[in-house]
Amino acid sequence: MSASSTTILSLPDQSTATVPKKNYITAEHGLLSWLLTGDHKRIAMLYLISITFFFFIGGAFAGLIRLELLTPQPDLVASDTYNKFFTMHGVIMVFLFLVPSVPATIGNFLIPIMVGARDLAFPKINLLSWYLYVVGGTLVLATMVLGGVDTGWTFTTPLSTHYLNTHVITTALAVFVAGFSSIFTGLNFIVTIHRMRCPGMTWFRLPLFVWAHYAASILMVLGTPVLAIAIVLVALERLIGIGVFDPTKGGDPLLFQHLFWFYSHPAVYIMILPGMGVISEVISTFSRKRVFGYTAVAFSSVAIALFGFFVWAHHMFIMGVSNYSALVFSLLTMLVAVPSAIKIFNWSFTLQKGSITFETPMLYAFGFMGLFTIGGLTGVFLGSLGMDIHLTETYFIVAHFHFVMVGGMLMAFLSGVHFWWPKMTGRMYPEAISKLAAVVTFIGFNLTFLPQFILGYLGMPRRYHSYPPEFQVLNVLSTAGATVLGVGYMLPILYLAWSLKYGAVAGNNPWQATGLEWQIQSPPLTENFTEIPIMDHEAYDYEWLEHKTAHEVTTVG
Amino acid sequence: MDSAIATTQEHEAGEHEHVFVPQHRHHFETEEQQREAGSFGMWLFLLTEIMFFGGMFFAYLLYRNWYYDAFVAASNQLNVKLGAANTAILITSGFFMALGVWAAEVRKKKLLVIYLILTTIFGFAFLGIKYFEYKEKYELHHIPGASFDVSQFENPAAYGLKEQPLAPDMAQKTQIFFFLYFAMTGMHALHMIIGLGLLFWLLARAQRGEFTAGYVAPIENFGLYWHFVDIVWIFLFPLLYLINRHPLK
């Protein structure tokens, strides 16, 4: 039954499709039925709306930053306002967008369906997680209204504890609360994946999307509490001067760095792993082939999660950690490149001799593969001790993590949103304009961030709001790119909203994909399945799908 | 099987007359699955708690190595008798909790209620003793912050203590010990308070007989939480009170 050597084509069933009258959206009505829901799909939608809201706020700050950097002089805003801008941009994008982006929306929606369950293990905790997210988000907005915070998203001590007179505690509380939202999501996923799989759904029949989320969930559950305690200590240090991070009392600011990055480095894998899960699904579907090296890709997710915990000190190479630990952490950092490369190579081999089609999700996935590879490889530059001393705290590092986070993760998020949009809403997005949006995003992204690699290499430091005039050309390019990128992000929200009413009816399986989620109606019923399915084939088995549709009788009515 | 997405219906056709307990949640296939998921979730939550406390244990380890003398002197000021009494009290409380889980499993409502009440009483006793310990620290100006006083460590003889005097800069470091002492025992006490709140809620439900008719998951999971809180103390007590009693010379 191996489908890896052949490719199979079949046509979508959209011509006869209707939107089913009974589905999770129409099951109940009224605002309260959403706000008090236990349905993972509805909670996913709540999350989707709220993270989109925060994405645009965070994006607005990015726009202001780029606008200020258009000219070498500090002419748009004062320097402390600029500090507040990039801090709010970082806090919002990291804690309120990237961390929950794919897991809390697409993952929330799909994981129960993919493992063949009616819901996540703990629906109420799932809802609680959304409320915690909203509280965290509200606190961030409150910080913004009250006058902002300018620590940078890293809360670096002793800057954050002793030298700033801004709303550090409010922001710390926001991050603390949002962190628990993420812990509960991860906990729910792990329990669901362990205990709620349908009969026949063995670990190695799980879609790679589920594997990736499993790995990310482990990071959420083990890493986030350490961030929580680090943040609590910062707040206490400010409130009552406890001295743990205060050198004058014998405390060590570096301890904060250790605790903070023990979470915040794995956090970048919390952000990227679910995106990698999306890419596995999309690449397989649009090349009509089983993912090459399924087991390797599955285990590479776990390996990234595992290695991810042992590389945190590479954020501190210039902060006075011992040479020996720097050496070890440098080596471990480079080891992370191995499982990441396993994924990229396996996706490339999946494409090889596949019947590739270029739908929008696939365009975004290609964008991901290219940009993530650049972002990942520049990470190896930064992991090398000598290079890091030259490049760290410059725009090189800004470009590096934006390639991974924006070029990688955001592309994956958009890829996933487009890919599962028909499943979530029952309607197709408009194909032509969305392809345009994907291309615009890709061009805008490269225009924004490629110049920053050069700027950083030439020595422009990050977090400054003025720069020598010779850097202006590259900065203007970058700002122009950010404008194009902004258009690329505005387009989807417009046409996706449009498609809710006017989009073509999608049918159950518009992509002819093999996942369990595509075998049920779109949008799904509240309990996903009328009867719990029995899984009797491998993931990404296109022969099985061919066989299934060949004997299927379609009833219209 | 022709259509691969077959259903469980044909397999379980014979079992449909099975009656679920009222607390069965519809999205679980079986009660067994619900119970396993609940307890697995609880274990994972405890894992996050370990990581949460772990940050403070790590800080303790680091500063203990750096400021060994200060940690020895400060630790000697803790009241071992009260700490030991609290350890015994907490273990007793945990013991009654374990009996409570047993009582729920064998469906003895009265016993369950009695054991839960005993668990609660011993929990409060722990907090009561902790209050007196904190009060003592307050009186000695050992609470970190503006009123923190190091004279006792700089000149122990004046206070009638048989301790080695510490150099002024090392004496300052006792503040870090006391901060960690308050942070760790305080966070532990916070967990106790949350647990006691939950105990009242469980007691009310236990009196209605909710856990003695085949549905014991909340009692079982709360038991895990309560034992976890015990175990944190089992690590805190030796680290904060005992480990420096006989310092290596």
Amino acid sitting at position A3: A
Residue type at A553 in one-letter notation: V
What distance in Å separates the CA atoms of residue B9 and residue A233, rounded to the nearest whole number? 54
Report which listed range, A6-10, A381-385, B142-146, is most confident.
Answer: A381-385
For the record, the structure tokens of A491 come out as 């387009």
The neighbouring-strand residues paired with A533 are B7
Above 60 in pLDDT, residue A6?
A: no
| pLDDT > 80? residue A302 | yes
* Cα gap A374→A371, rounded to integer Å: 5
Residue with tokens 């719990």: A532
Burial (CB count <10 Å: 0-12, 13-18, 19+), residue A248: exposed
* DSSP character string of A421-440: HHHHHSBPPPHHHHHHHHHH
**What are the CA-CA distances from residue A25 to residues A19, A104, B25, B150 (Å)?**
11, 18, 21, 65
b/e map A139-170, b = 16+ CB within 10 Å: bbbebbeeebbbbbbbbbbbebbeebebbbbb
Residue B5 vs residue A414, higher pLDDT: A414
Least confident residue range of A15-24, A130-139, B186-195: A15-24
Write down the CATH number for the domain with range A31-550: 1.20.210.10
When comparing pLDDT for A184 and B143, which is higher?
A184
Average pLDDT on A161-168 reads 88
Q: Which of A49, A44, A54 is nearest to A105 (CA)?
A: A44
At residue B88, the 3 state secondary structure works out as helix
Mean pLDDT of A239-263: 89
Name the 3-class secondary structure at A496: helix
Whether B44 and A191 lie within 8 Å, measured CB to CB: yes
Q: How many helical (H) and strand (E) elements, i.e. helices and strands, does chain A have?
A: 17, 1
pLDDT of residue A13: 57
pLDDT band, very low/low/confident/very high, at B247 (cuts 50, 70, 90): low
CA distance A23 to A35: 18
- Check pLDDT > 80 for residue B119: yes
CA distance A537 to A296: 19
Q: What is the token pair recorded at A548?
A: 């299934």
Shortest Cα–Cα distance, B141 to chain A (Å): 14
**In this predicted model, what pLDDT tens digit does every residue of A354-391 receive, in sequence order?**
999 999 999 999 999 999 999 999 999 999 999 999 99
Q: What is the pLDDT of residue A466?
A: 92
Average pLDDT on A20-40 reads 91
Task: Please give the Cα distance from A229 to A235 (Å, whole number).
Answer: 10
Chain centroid offset of residue A495 CA: 22
- Over residues A94-147, the pLDDT tens digits come to 999 999 999 999 999 999 999 999 999 999 999 999 999 999 999 999 999 999
Which pLDDT score is estimated for A249?
A: 85
Classify A355 in phi/psi space as left (phi over 0), alpha (psi -120 to 50) or beta. beta
Q: Which of B3, B5, B9 to mutate to test the interface with A (most CBs of A within 10 A)?
A: B5
Contact yes or no for B8 and A199 at CB 8 A: yes
HSE, side-chain direction, 13 A CA sphere, residue A240: 14
Residue A191 in this model has a pLDDT that exceeds 50:
yes
For B161, other C-beta atoms within 10 Å of its C-beta total 15
Looking at residue B150, what is its pLDDT?
A: 85
If contacts are CB pairs under 8 Å, which of residues 244-303 in chain A contact chain B? 244, 249-252, 255, 258-259
Compute how many other C-beta atoms are within 10 angstroms of the C-beta atom of residue A273.
30
Pairing assessment for the beta strands B6-7 and A533-534 based on DSSP bridges: antiparallel
Q: Which residue of B has its CA nearest to A120?
A: B27
Separation between Cα atoms, residue A479 and residue B243, nearest integer Å: 59
Q: Grade residue A551 by pLDDT with cuts at 50, 70 and 90.
A: low
**Beta bridge partner(s), residue A461:** A394
Q: What is the pLDDT of residues B82-105, one digit of tens each?
A: 999 999 999 999 999 999 999 999
Q: Which long-range contacts (CB under 8 A, 24 or more apart) does B193-196 make?
A: B193/B127, B195/B123, B195/B222, B195/B225, B195/B226, B195/B229, B196/B120, B196/B123, B196/B124, B196/B127
Higher pLDDT, A20 or A120: A120
> So what's the architecture of B31-144+154-242 in CATH?
Up-down Bundle (1.20)
Among A95, A101, A74, smallest CA distance to A139 is for: A95
Question: Tell me, what's the pLDDT at A51?
Answer: 96
Residue A525 β-bridge partners? A528
Residue B147 or A299, more confident: A299
Beta strands in chain B (DSSP E): 6-7
Measured between CA atoms, the residue of chain A closest to residue B34 is A121
Name the band, by pLDDT with cuts 50, 70 and 90, for residue A555: very low
Let me know: does A378 contact A404? Beta carbons within 8 Å: no
- Judged by CB atoms closer than 8 Å, whether chains meet at A196 and B37 is answered as yes
pLDDT number for residue A4: 44
Cβ separation A536–B66 shorter than 8 A: no
A431 Cβ under 8 Å from any chain B Cβ:
no
d(CA A87, CA B231): 39
- Nearest one of A174, A157, A186 to A91, comparing CA atoms: A174
Which residue in A327, A410, A337 sits closest to A379, CA to CA?
A337
- Cβ A279 vs Cβ A412: under 8 Å: yes
B141 vs A287, more confident: A287
- Is there a contact between B40 and A191 if contact means CB atoms under 8 Å apart? yes
3-state secondary structure A307-374: HHCCCHHHHHHHHCCCHHHHHHHHHHHHHHHHHHHHHHHHHHHHHCCCCCCCCHHHHHHHHHHHHHHH
> Which one of B61, B179, B191, B228 would you mutate to disrupt binding with A, by most A Cβ within 10 Å of its Cβ?
B179
Q: For tokens 């605002």, what's the residue?
A: A31
Residue type, A212: A
The rounded percent of chain A whose pLDDT value lies above 70 is: 96
Asked if A4 contacts A289 with a C-beta cutoff of 8 angstroms, the reply is yes
> Based on the number of CB atoms within 10 Å of its own CB, is B68 exposed (0-12), middle (13-18) or buried (19 or more)?
middle
Structure tokens at A500: 């809710």
Summary mean pLDDT of chain A: 92
On the question of pLDDT at A556 being above 70, the answer is no
The residues pairing with A534 across neighbouring beta strands, listed in sequence order, are: B6
Top mean-pLDDT range of A182-186, A314-318, B135-139: A182-186
Q: Are B203 and B113 in contact (CB under 8 A)?
A: yes
Per DSSP, the three-state class of A469 is: helix
**Would you call A548 and B183 a contact, using CB atoms and an 8 Å cutoff?**
no
Q: What is the mean pLDDT of residues A381-404?
A: 94
On the question of pLDDT at A169 being above 80, the answer is yes
Each domain of chain B, given as residue ranges in start order, spans 31-144+154-242
Calculated CA dihedral for residues A215, A218, A224, A226, nearest 10 degrees: -120
Nearest-CA distance B6 → chain A (Å): 5
pLDDT at B12 over 60: no
Helix axes A123-146, A40-68, angle to 10 degrees: 20
Q: What is the dihedral of CA A557, B3, B8, B11, to 10 degrees?
A: 130
Contact call for B48 and A121, based on CB within 8 A = no
Give the per-residue pLDDT at A15: 65
A551–B37 C-beta distance less than 8 A: no
Q: Give the end-to-end CA distance of chain B in Å, rounded to a whole number.
A: 76
- Tell me if residue A461 falls in helix, strand or coil: strand
> What residues are paired with A505 via a beta bridge?
A427
Statement: residue B31 has pLDDT above 80: yes
pLDDT band at B1 (very low <50, low <70, confident <90, very high): very low
Question: In this predicted structure, which of A79-83, A333-337, A460-464, B19-23 has the lowest mean pLDDT?
Answer: B19-23
The one-character DSSP state at B242 is I
Give the other-Cβ count within 10 Å of A86's Cβ.
22
Mean pLDDT of chain B: 87
Q: What percent of chain B has pLDDT over 70?
A: 90
DSSP A157: T
The answer to whether residue A59 scores a pLDDT higher than 70 is yes
Cis peptide before A523 (omega within 30 of 0): yes
Q: Are A446 and A402 in contact (CB under 8 A)?
A: no
Task: Name A310's Cβ contacts closer than 8 Å, sequence gap at least 6.
Answer: A329, A332
Task: Please name the residue ranges forming H helices in A241-293.
Answer: 253-287
Q: Cβ separation of B62 and A255 shorter than 8 Å?
A: yes
Residue B13 has pLDDT above 80, yes or no: no
Q: What is the pLDDT of residue B163?
A: 79
Q: Cα–Cα distance between A92 and B102 in angstroms, integer?
A: 48
The tokens describing B155, both together, are 């000149």
Residues in chain B with CB shorter than 8 Å from the CB of A259 are 55, 58-59
Residue A425 CA, distance from chain mean position: 21
Q: Is A117 on the interface with B (CB under 8 A)?
A: yes
Evaluate the omega torsion of the peptide bond into residue A158 and state whether it is cis, within 30 degrees of 0.
Answer: yes
Three-state DSSP at A525 gives: strand
**pTM for the full predicted model:** 0.92
Q: Which of A95, A255, A78 is nearest to A150 (CA)?
A: A78
Rounded CA gap, A27 and A21, in Å?
Answer: 9
Residue A12, pLDDT above cutoff 80: no
Quote the CA–CA distance of A84 and A62 in Å, as a whole number: 11
Q: Is the pLDDT confidence value at B152 over 60? A: yes
Which has the minimum average pLDDT: A175-189, A489-503, B1-15, B128-142?
B1-15
Amino acid symbol at A114: M
| Structure confidence at residue A216 (pLDDT) | 96
- Inform me whether the pLDDT recorded for A32 exceeds 60: yes
